[in-house]
Amino acid sequence: MAKRDVREPFIPERDKGLTPTIECIGLGIDFGGLTAVDDFNFTLGRTEIAGLIGPNGAGKTTVFNLLTKVYQPSRGRMLLLGKDTKGMTTAEANCAGIARTFQNIRLFKDLTVLENVLIGLHNEIRYTMFEAVFRLPRYWRAEKAARERALELLSIFNMQDMADDIAGSLPYGAQRRLEIVRALATNPTLLLLDEPAAGMNPAETAELMETIRRIRDMFKISILLIEHDMNLVMGICEGIAVLNYGRLIAKGTPEEIKSDPNVIEAYLGKKGC
C-alpha cells in the first residue's frame, strides 16, 4: 500500500464535489519558544466523521483552539466553507458554524440543563431587548419555540427528563452528553468533540458511538473528534489524522492508520528502546 502524503487532502469520495467544511493550510502556532502545532494541513469533508489522534501533549486540543479561534495562528490559513477565517473571534467562529465541546467539561454548572441548551440557542432566539423586558408577544413565542427546540435536542440523548436539573449535579457521562447537546444547539456545520468518551464505561462509549453517527446523519454536519479510545476512533471515523509533537505524521483510513509504522512508533516507541 502506497503511503499517503500528509500534506495532501484526504476526504471521503461522497464529499469530494463539495466545498470542504474546513481547510487548513500550513497552520501553526508558537507559545513563546515552543512550537505547539506546525505545518498542519487538513481537509474535512462536508459529512465526514474524522478523528484526530496522537499521544498526550501532541497538540490536539491546540488544533481545536485554533479552529475555534481561541488562539490566532502564528502561521498558515484556515478556510471555513471556503472563506478565510482570519481575525475572527471565538463567538464569530461559532456563528460561522463551528461548535465544540471541551476536554475538561465547561458547562454552565449552576444553571439548569434546559438553560444550558437555551444558551446554546442564543443566536437562534430572535427578539429585541425591548420586546424581552416588556414581555411582548414575540418574546413569548420565541421563548416557547426555543424551549421546545431545546427539549427536542435533549431527547437525542434521552435527557429531556433532566431538563430542570442543575447541570453541575449530573453524573459525569450526562455532563459530557449535555455539552454535545449545547454545542448542537448553536446549529453548527462542524462539531468538534474533545475526548467525548473520556471517563465513560464501555457500554456508554458504545452508545455514544451510535449517537455520534446518528447526529451526523440527522444534522448532515461534519464531526471532528479527538479521542484516546481506539475502539471508538477506529469504529466511526472515516478519516484519521495523527499528530505527534505538533506535526501530522499520518493521515488515512482506519486500516491504513492501524498498520502505519510511524504511528505505531509514536504510540509505542521504537523497537528495542
Catalog residues that contact ligand ATP under the rule CB under 6 A: 31, 34, 36, 54, 56-62, 103
Is 87 an interacting residue with respect to another protein (CB under 8 A)?
no
Binder of residue 120, out of ligand ATP, Mg ion, another protein, none (CB less than 5 to 8 A by kind): another protein
- Choosing from 71, 76, 102, 206, the residue that interacts with another protein (CB under 8 A) is 102
Among 106, 214, 220, 258, binds another protein (CB under 8 A): 106
**b/e string for 211-231 if b means 16 or more Cβ within 10 A?**
bbeebbeebebbbbbbbebee
Considering only CA atoms, which of 76, 85, 68, 67 is closest in space to residue 30?
A: 76
Residues 129-188 that bind another protein (CB under 8 A): 129, 132-135, 139-140, 143, 164, 182-183, 185-186
* Shortest distance (Å) from residue 29 CB to Mg ion: 14
Binder to another protein among 25, 81, 119, 230 (CB under 8 A)?
Answer: 119
Structure-block grid coordinates of residue 57: 501533549
DSSP 70: S
Q: What letters, b where the CB count within 10 A reaches 16 and e where it falls short, cover 246-255? A: bbbbbbbebe
Binding residue for Mg ion, selected from 35, 103, 189, 211, defined by CB under 5 A: 103
| Ranges within 1-60 binding another protein (CB under 8 A) | none
Exposure string of 139-178, with b = 16+ CB inside 10 Å and e = fewer, is: beebeeebbebbeebbebbebeebbeebbeebeebbbbbb
Give 60 or 251: the residue with its C-beta nearer to another protein: 60
Closest separation in Å from C-beta 245 to another protein: 26
122 near another protein, judged by CB under 8 A: yes
Alpha-carbon distance values, 202 to 117, 192, 237 (Å): 26, 21, 18
Number of residues that bind another protein (CB under 8 A): 37
Q: Establish if 94 lies at the interface with another protein (CB under 8 A).
A: yes
Instruction: Count Cβ atoms below 10 Å from residue 3 Cβ, excluding itself.
Output: 12
Q: Which is nearer to another protein, 132 or 234 (CB)?
A: 132
CB of 93 to another protein, least distance (A): 8
CA gap 246, 262 in Å, rounded: 14
Q: Which does 107 bind (CB under 5 to 8 A by kind): another protein, ligand ATP, Mg ion, none?
A: another protein
What radius of gyration, in Å, describes the C-alpha atoms of the chain?
19
Site residues (CB under 8 A) for another protein? 68, 70, 89-91, 94-95, 99-100, 102, 106-111, 115, 118-120, 122-123, 125, 127, 129, 132-135, 139-140, 143, 164, 182-183, 185-186
